[in-house]
Amino acid sequence: MVDRHFPSWFARAQERAGAALKAVSSAIPNDVRAALGWLAEPVAAVALVFTATTAIAQPFYVPSGSMQPTLAIGDLLIANKWTYGYTRFSIPFVTGETPEHRLFEHMPQVGDVAVFHVGDRPSALVKRVIGLPGDRIQMKQGRLWINDRQLPLQAVGSGRDEDGPGETAPGTYFKVAEFIETLPNGVRHPVFKKYRDAPLDDTSVYVVPPGHVFMMGDNRDDSMDSRVGVDEGGVGYVPIGDLIGRASVIVASVDFANARGVWEWPFRLRISRTLNVVR
């Protein structure tokens, strides 16, 4: 669905920009204005780059292991902002409440790996979209149920789970069970399972409210996601207006946790992860 009406926050941004430009223009003397004309081309180039990195796509760094094995600690990914449309988080210097609708709005799909904000937290987060408005989500004995249906889970052996900053052994890799989970729309993705009887293995039923999505990390026992409320350190139900974009590609990856300093980062590049598509 595409919202054909510009949201109020976008209209406010246009008004503020127009007023600011008019005020600045009237205050500039003619000779200074002529000199600025010579700078039009380089300024336009800078503006184009700025627009591309803020309204089309934006890089984000992954500092934790909640999305392992899909995303590794130290991945640098690109999020496409046009996938879901635009909100105040997509355009710089626009503040205010989370909007009910987005500009050129498109609903996320179950299985998307999305970047989003949570309340007033300064850093963006990245997790997988598991539920849409009206969906019923529950964990039973470590298995995910959506709309009263247990999702297929295929064991594929083991994977390497890395402890991140703030964990018991930063930079240390541990062998954990790996599975392939199939979502109701057919999307298949890997999950890590570190423990038996983990705290979030059994939950009540979550009913996703209108205008929100339910997010979960692929590293199921190491993710404070929509299964945990915001006041308890999780993300709760995420308003669709808080989505920034869909993670699309990993442009680089550095195992910084095992580097003794920045000078070692070039030797800790994970070449095998470069330009991997995020699925």
The residues assigned a catalytic role are: 66, 127
Q: Which tokens sit at 59?
A: 């890089």
Taking the C-alpha atoms of residue 48 and residue 59, their distance in angstroms, rounded to an integer, is: 16
The single residue listed with the structure tokens 């600045």 is 24
Taking the C-alpha atoms of residue 234 and residue 88, their distance in angstroms, rounded to an integer, is: 22
DSSP states along 188-226: EEEEEE--SS-TTSS---EEPPTTEEEEE-SBGGG---T
List, in sequence order, every residue forming a beta bridge with 269; answer none if it has no partner.
254
Taking the C-alpha atoms of residue 197 and residue 117, their distance in angstroms, rounded to an integer, is: 30
SS (H, E, C) 34-98: HHHHCCHHHHHHHHHHHHHHHHHEEEEECCCCCCCCCCCCCEEEEEECCCCCECCCCCCCCCCCC
DSSP 254: B
Q: Which tokens sit at 212?
A: 């929100």
* Secondary structure E strands in 91-147: 113-116, 125-131, 136-140, 143-146
Q: Which tokens sit at 163?
A: 């402890």
